[in-house]
Each structure stands twice: as C-alpha cells, then as structure tokens.
Structure 1
C-alpha cells in the first residue's frame, strides 16, 4: 500500500495513459490484472481521429508512435469513465488535454461527474499539433493551465511533462507554482524512422514519440532531477518492464511508476512488478517501500 497525492494504491504500479484506456471495460481489465491504479486515454474537448496509419511501429528496442491523440471527446467518454470507476476497484485517473486553459477546464469539469480520482494534464504529447508538448514546452502556459484546472476542480491534479525541452525542471517548477499535486515524468521522446528502400518516413505523421526500454535512462535522469528540485511527488514513467526497473525509478525519486509499452508483453506485468518490489523490500530489510524512494540521492 502506498499513497500518492492522498490516493491509496494497493501497489505502486499505474497503467500509463494511452494504453488500453479507451473503454471502461479495458481499464477494469487492467485493474483486475494487478495495476495499483489506471489512467484513461487522453481525452479532449472535441473528437479527434488521430493521424493516418502507420501510426505505430515496433523497433525492437522500443515503440515509435504517432497516434495524434485520437479520442471521442469528453461528452462521449463520461460513461466509459463511470464504468471504469464502478468496475475497476482501483483509483482511476482521467488524462485530459486541450489547446488552452479554457479547454482544459472545460474537459475537466465535463468529466467531474464521473468521479475520477485525479486528473493528469497531458501537456507533453510530442506529435499532436497545437496540443501536448506544443503547450507543455512553455513554462508560463504550464503554470496557467495547471492553476486554472486546480481552481476548477476539487481532486488532485497531476501534470505529465515532456522530455523534449532544454530543462524539464523549469517545466516541473512551473507546474508546481500552478498548484500541481504531482508531476509525471516522462512522456515519449521525439523520434523518426525512414524506410531505406523507398526513402519515405515510415510513420504516417513522419515523426512520433519513442517509448519502451530505450527511454528508461532518460526517464530516470528526469525523475532524479525533478525529485531534487521539487517539493511535490514525482511519478516515473518510461521503460519500466521489470521490478528492477521500477526500483531504479523509485530510487531516483519516483513515488510510483507508470507502465505503458510493457503491457504489450501481457497484463501480468503489473502483478509481476508489484510482487518483485515486495520481495525486494523484504529481502533488503527496508521497513516499507517509502524507504526506497529517493535513495539514490543519499548515495552521493
């Protein structure tokens, strides 16, 4: 058991946004597979079809995707969120996006009746023009959006940060100034793949976001830096496939870890990581999992 921004999780594993989060049934399935909490697909103010295919490729060492934030919009997602809340038995966090603070507030207020446990503000998607990282690379925008949503709702607000900036700490600090209860680091890293036979970019959008094992060192460094600088919790995400990955992320400073690409290998990843963490804590003689959080900062 661990608390994240006042939310009780049976274990520190969380389903990352964008993975099996499009329906209430799929979110409940992941929760029953062992996740400590689940996060919905990012939901916006208007329906979006997303980018044309191919929108995702397996590189062997990670995934490159350019989905383009496809979603039904918040009016059509309210029922799915309510189903997830009713059937999952775990905390459900709603990931939301918009192009302005007014749009973020509109979506948040539109989903409040479905009673999410928290909101995660997606200001970090690298491949949706006018959204995500287009907003999240500007500290002033991040601060104002966070403050607007925080003023409009009475539940915790998490802010998901992009690594595609010169200084992620300045963005995390902006979220904290805006009243964020936690930051989430990181979203995908900008990337591209080209078919050498034809010379064409492989993704329909030409470029996308890299996730999976390849980005873990980047995520660990971002979590480490944010933990050093901020007073609010940091939730780690990026390349977590095993309990060892999760422990490493937590030693860098993560209070909990989100799992995305690893779900491709099966839903048992959540229970496997949670069990591994428990065994590690017991074997090492730690009193609780909180003893591990930020441990690497004490080893200087």
Structure 2
C-alpha cells in the first residue's frame, strides 16, 4: 500500500461537454427524480444525478409484484413507471440543484423516431447537463428485441438522439445481456455517442416454491446489486479498451473502494444504484470518503489511476 500524502486529492472529472466535481453519480431508476433523497444529504455534493427513465407520455409501469430480493442483490420489473417528460420539466427539474450538480435525463422510447422526439424535448432545456439513452428498451417495431442487443439498432437509436440533442452530450447505457458487449459499444461510439454507461441490469428471475409461481408479475426482471459487480467490472474493462470515449461504470458499487476499482478498470465516473435502497445516504457517504481513500493509496488525481490495471 502506498504511503499517505498531504496533498488534498482532486476528485474532478472532465467528460465530453461536461465537467463534474467528483465521479459519483446516481443510477437511473434507483434515486427517483433526486428530490426524494434530499433529506439524506446535500444533492449539491454529488457529481451528477441521473433521474429515473423518462418517456414522452406518463407510464404506469408493470403490475405488482415488481421487486424481489435475491442473494447479494435484487430483481426489479418496474416497467419504467414515470410521470412523462412534460411534468418532469415543469415539476421536478426546477427544484433540482442544476447549477451545482449535473442533472442527466434517462430516455425511454419504443422506436428510434420516438427517441429523437424525446431527446429534442429534453435537450431544449439548458438546466439538463446530458442525456442518457436506455437501449435496453424493446424495439416494438422489430418484434420486441431490445435495441441494445443488436449493434445496428443501438446505433440507429444513438444517431436519432444525437441528431436531436444538438450540443448536449449523449450517453448510451449498454446492456450486458449480449454475446459481446464491445460490438455494441463500437457501434454506438461510431454512431456519435459521447460516453457509455456500463452496465444495465442482467436478466433474471425468481420463483416461489410455495405458490409455484414467479415472484415477479412480469416473470423476468433486471438483476442488480453486489451480485453483478464482477460482470460490470469486466464490461467496463473490455469496453474502455474497445472505444476511445469515456465509460461510466455501474453495477454493485456500494463503497469508495468499489469506486476506485472501477476507475482502475478504466471508468471515468461511476453510478450508484441498488445501494441506495439499502441505505439511502450511501451515495453521500461515498462522496465524503473518496478523497481520504485516494490519499491512502497515494492517488492525487483520478487520472493517475484510471485504466492502469496490470494484466
């Protein structure tokens, strides 16, 4: 272990079109619209807040039950319940600390044209710092296959959002439910993505032996939490070597040490998700603890650590 240094570590991160005070962001779908967690810490201290997925019109989501516990994690099939883009811009965004913290909108749509329409509506609001595209959505016109499972479809969605976003940075959130995540990463990078988020949830299910029924009404759902951290680290490492755009790591992060592991594997920043359900102040504690841990390992700036994994 490296000796401690008296220099105050610099946690700032420079991303395409976006500078954040630290690499700690929240993961979409796990932090509400941000305001729900304001009583547990200062939202202004976070590097970024990624709000829950937004669609053009409000969505009721899937029927109950929508969450099931799993060893070292949880399964969810919420169905992207949200209030719609219009109400978000009118009711939620004005109350968020957009001048101090990057506010990122996560996009949900059923075809490329709808993604473009949604991106245009959001990109017109300067209070937003970036758009994150959820390519794990099903392409209804193509029989329901998730956009992110096909490089060509993922690229088409990326181009539609980029064309509508103007100068606003576009992040594409990749699915791990593919044979080779680097193929999709290269496709969306070539289509103009400014950054990538790795990863979305893994597809899983849970059953109830007593009732002999699935624990989720949707039968299958997304697995998240500590159980998927090894998969997320692998994907971040592979993708960061395959493309020249920044990667944001997410999956099972619950400590400052987890953050540095993802940076070591190649991530520029991270998102914290399921840990927010376990302890709603987790993300704020990690922000506080990160500088001290950097000092412990002799890291004065995250650039010194990023992508230096020795293999």
Fold shared, TM-score > 0.5 on shorter chain: yes
TM-score of the superposed pair, with normalisation by structure 2: 0.88
2:111 counterpart residue number: 100
User: What secondary structure sits across from 1:63 in the alignment?
Assistant: strand
Give ranges in structure 1 of 5+ residues lacking alignment.
Answer: none
Q: Is the 8 A contact 2:41 2:284 kept in 1?
A: no
Relative contact order, higher structure (CA 8 A, sep 6+): 2
> 1:117: which partner in 2?
129
Query: 2:42 matched to 1:32?
Result: yes
Structure 1 residues 155 and 85 mapped into 2: Cα distance closer, same or farther (>3 Å)?
farther
Q: Is the 8 A contact 1:28 1:84 kept in 2?
A: no
Q: What's the C-alpha RMSD, in Å, of the aligned pairs?
A: 2.1
- Mapped pair 1:3 → 2:7: no
Separation of aligned partners in 1, 2:35 and 2:125: 15
The offset of 1:152, in angstroms, is 1.5
The answer (yes or no) to whether the contact 1:28–1:87 under 8 Å persists in 2 is no
C-alpha separation in 2, matches of 1:123 and 1:246: 24
Distance 2:140 2:305 in 1: 38
Could you tell me how far 1:81 is from its partner in structure 2?
Answer: 4.7
Structure 2 distance, partners of 1:198, 1:270, is: 37
C-alpha deviation, 1:30, in angstroms: 7.1
Contact (CA 8 Å) 1:213, 1:239: kept in 2 or not? yes
Question: C-alpha distance in 2, partners of 1:163/1:31?
Answer: 31
1: CA distance, partners of 2:131 / 2:98: 19
Aligned residues: 295
Q: 1:168 aligns with which of 178, 181, 190?
A: 181
Question: Does residue 275 of the first structure (1) align with residue 285 of the second (2)?
Answer: no
Which residue number in structure 2 is paired with residue 247 of structure 1? Answer: 260
Q: Kindly tell me: are residues 90 and 100 of structure 1, through their superposed partners in 2, closer, same or farther at Cα, counting changes over 3 Å?
A: same
Query: By how many angstroms is 1:9 displaced?
Result: 1.6
Distance 1:263 1:96, change over 3 A: same
Q: Take 1:29 and 1:3, find their aligned partners in 2: how far apart are those partners?
A: 28
Query: How far off its partner does 1:28 sit?
Result: 5.5
Pairing of 1:199-210 with structure 2 (within 5 A)? 199-210=212-223
Whether the 8 Å contact between 1:212 and 1:240 is mirrored in structure 2 is: yes
- Choose the corresponding residue for 1:228, options 241, 264, 279: 241
Change in Cα spacing, 1:27 to 1:118, as seen in structure 2 (3 Å) is: farther
Counterpart-to-counterpart distance in 2, 1:63 and 1:112: 33
Structure with the larger helix share: 1
2:270 aligns with one of 232, 257, 264: 257
SS at match of 2:248: strand
How far, CA to CA, are the matches of 1:163 and 1:255 in structure 2?
19
Aligned 8 A contact 2:20 2:102 in 1: yes
Q: Distance in 2 between matches of 1:80 and 1:177?
A: 36
Structure 1 match to 2:151: 139
Q: What is the alpha-carbon distance in structure 2 between the residues aligned to residue 114 and residue 85 of structure 1?
A: 13
Q: Which 4+ residue blocks in structure 1 deviate beyond 6 angstroms?
A: none
How far residue 292 of structure 1 moved from its aligned partner, in angstroms, is 1.2
Gap regions ≥5 residues in structure 2: 1-11
